Structure 1
Amino acid sequence: MFNFKTTTTTMASNLKNISFEEMQSTLVHLFLKYGFTQEKAQLLARTYTESTLDGVNSHGINRVPLFISYIEQEFIQINAEAEKAEGMGSMERWDGNLGPGIINATKCTDRAIALAKEHGMGMVALRNTNHWMRGGTYGRRAAEQGCIAIMFTNTQPNMPPWGGKDSRLGNNPFIVSIPRKKGHVVLDMAISQFAFGKINDYKLKGQQLPFPGGWDDEDQLSTYPEKILVKERGLPIGYWKGSALSMILDMLVTLLSAGNSTSKIAGKEKEIAISQVFLCISQDYFRDTDVQERLLQEIIDFTHSSTPMKEGQNIYYPGERTLETRARNQKNGMPVSIEVWQKVLELAS
């Protein structure tokens, strides 16, 4: 019998600390129970746990129960994997066959890296796949292999176009990563002010959003997660500019993958069969990597030199706070919702 003994420290009334090792071993057991191979169970468990370690619970441990429910409803095919459908030199189209999003995204990231190592630049456009959870996972994976990466995905409609009342756009996460010896630069952002997983994270913590994140059922911008989640109408970043960017990303990912657009995803029972793009540029082809490191540091130092508006605050480059959070959680354990953790333990038992 698997041992679910938990040694945790209560941080708040609804949070507890879980160690990396405990979470990963629990999730491996859970995914094996649901029929995944040892290799795939390890990959899934590590990815969910690393996202939680980095403080992205919304796309880490909090998503596990929903992932399992999709498996139980057969929206996700556990034995399916992405397969190459079409090759065009340094560009390829792949079909995800409705396999698990993490497994498909990892496979396509690695293929885009391999194409970049061969051609200087490589792109894999993936259709018919599922949620990749935290997009930054794949940007960081590319950076660790010496590749600059640009990646994006479409989603179900969860934002109204600017001036509209009904959701017609996805919050279409967008990732850019740049390798750096002192810590990779990783931009991972939804085109909504807050990803809906993040909004739900605030709800689980019993907190309001620090800024308006969407419209309530009375068409008013709100900081209350519960009110925003009623109709899931997120606020685009930059208002009309974010609205336009979301549409452009949906156009690009649909055309490049020959897959489903947000409009097609809207007609499905759940958010499945989405489309994604993985573009990698290998730094192996550049002979001035030392110069590149200096230029990156120049930009970072100039940005850090800005005086904070509030005393005691810091200025960060994309991905810098993640490194701090990871170090803190490695030392103290990962703060996790008691409710979510209990659900995971029940699923795994």
Structure 2
Amino acid sequence: MFKTIQNQEMLEVLTVLFIKHGFSTEKAKQLAHVHTENTLHGVNSHGINRVPFFIDQVKRGLVKQDMEAQKVEGFGSIERWDGNLGSGVINAIKCTNRAITLAKENGMGLVALRNTNHWMRAGYYGWMAAEQNCIGILFTNTEPNMPAWGGKEARLGNNPLVISIPRKKGHIVLDMAMTQFSFGKINQYKLNGEQLPYEGGFDENGNLTKNPEEILTTKSGLPIGYWKGSALSMVLDMLATLLSAGRSTYKLGLDSHEYGVSQVFLCMDPNTFHDANLQENLMEEIIAYTQDITPMEPNGKTYYPGERSLANKINNQKNGMQVSEEIWNKITDLANK
């Protein structure tokens, strides 16, 4: 069952909830904004649905309410930061803004962050970079939830990757996990009582399945592109771990709960080249060529990355967000205790 929630109501309820669980008013408002914004974009799996998970992490002491990321080393336009196990959202906002500042100063800026926590919807930070007219390449490692190609046990993370490009007619924002479906999305199908539209992971016998419960039980998602996604996941883990001097997917898997992940925030200022009109024309050329096709289905079309996400936000701002009644009741109960 679903119910319609307006974004202002969600902001108010979540702000109260986060304050009650030890966050300052400023941080509570930031957290409420990010979870609401993610839900507005239609990504409930990493917006409102993640709130109970986040509160559980706080209660377990895995997320430190009064801690946040701090710079520990600097090498020109490259910096290492330590998240001090603070909120992954608060830390990611801080490090994205720092990478943007470095890019504006140097043309390119990179912040590698260790000892942080789940940043919820990765694409949020890609939109942040694009809104500041920066190209962004951002990624994180995760606990093991995907087998390396050819193996049965989960040894790789689904390590979400974001690439964003500013554009006047609508920013380009690619947000993708290395699994065919993110685990938040798989859980969304479970909440809806639905099977996945395509095979998305492995059951306990090592067979591909569309059953979300079986995949959530085994924590074995299907790599995108099979062996190619497996290799890309491994390389992203290597980069995040080496650049931040943080914990790898292997180390994250030694604990029963995911915390202390490693992330990279790379931003580039396209104004460095002083040819903004050329850049805009080149993007329009690529998008027009891609969309000038014979659709597979009647009234169908192709989309550039971020197009449907923006359309979801516009629609949800106007008509309200469709939220799982079970999840919303759980959140309001937490806020009212």
Structure-1-length-normalised TM-score? 0.95
Amino acid at match of 2:246: G
Which residue number in structure 2 is paired with residue 89 of structure 1?
76
Specify the alignment match of 1:235 in structure 2: 222
Which of 189, 197, 214 in structure 1 is aligned with 2:201?
Answer: 214
User: Structure 2 CA distance, aligned partners of 1:140 and 1:270?
Assistant: 28
Establish whether residue 21 from structure 1 lines up as the match of residue 8 from structure 2. yes
SS in 1 for 2:154: coil
Aligned with 2:286 (options 291, 296, 299): 299
Distance in 1, matches of 2:212 and 2:294, equals: 31
Cα distance in 2, alignment partners of residues 343 and 312 from structure 1:
39
1:339 aligns with 2:326: yes
Amino acid at match of 1:84: K
Structure-2 residue corresponding to 1:119: 106
Alignment partner, residue 308 of structure 1: 295
Measured on the aligned residues, the alpha-carbon RMSD in Å equals 0.7
Match for residue 146 of structure 2? 159
1:19-38 residue CA offsets vs partner (Å, 9 max, x unmatched):
00000110001011111111
Structure 2 residue 189 is the aligned partner of structure 1 residue 202: yes
CA distance in 2, matches of 1:269, 1:82: 24
Which of residues 18, 25, 49 in structure 2 aligns to 1:62?
49
Kindly provide the amino acid, as one letter, of the partner of residue 212 in structure 1.
E
Q: 2:246 maps to which residue?
A: 259
- C-alpha separation between the residues in 2 aligned to 1:329 and 1:262? 36
1:332 Cα deviation from its structure 2 partner: 1.1
- Structure 1 alignment gaps of length 5 or more: 1-13
Q: Are 2:255 and 1:268 equivalent residues in the alignment?
A: yes
- Which residue pairs with 1:178 in the alignment? 165
For 1:220 and 1:323, locate their aligned partners in 2 and report how far apart those are by CA, in whole Å.
36
Distance of 1:109 and 1:231 partners within structure 2: 33
SS at match of 2:3: strand
* CA distance in 1 between partners of 2:168 and 2:141 (Å): 31
Gaps of 5+ in 2: none
Q: Deviations over 1:306-336 (max 9, x none)?
A: 2221112221000000011111111111010
Aligned equivalents of 1:269, 1:161: Cα separation in 2: 20
Q: Distance in 2 between matches of 1:295 and 1:322?
A: 22
SS at match of 1:176: strand
CA distance in 1, matches of 2:14, 2:273: 40
Identity of aligned residues (%): 61
Cα separation, 1, equivalents of 2:294 and 2:197: 21
Structure 1 Cα separation of the partners of residues 295 and 253 of structure 2: 42
Matched, 1:35 2:8: no
Give me the whole-angstrom Cα distance separating, in 1, the residues matched to 2:246 and 2:179.
22
Write the distance in 2 (CA, Å) between the matches of 1:111 and 1:131.
Answer: 19
User: What residue number does 2:179 align with?
Assistant: 192
Poorly superposed stretches of 4+, deviation over 2 Å: none
The whole-number CA distance in structure 1 between the counterparts of 2:5 and 2:233 is 36
Counterparts of 1:217 and 1:130, CA distance in 2: 28
Q: TM-score, length-normalised on structure 2?
A: 0.99
Which amino acid in structure 2 is aligned with residue 320 of structure 1?
Answer: E
Distance in 1 between the 2:82 and 2:123 partners? Answer: 21
2:98 is the counterpart of 1:99: no
> How far apart are the structure 1 equivalents of 2:293 and 2:310?
21
Q: Distance in 1 between matches of 2:330 and 2:134?
A: 38
Give the Å deviation of 1:284: 2.5
Of 223, 248, 251 in structure 1, the residue corresponding to residue 235 of structure 2 is 248
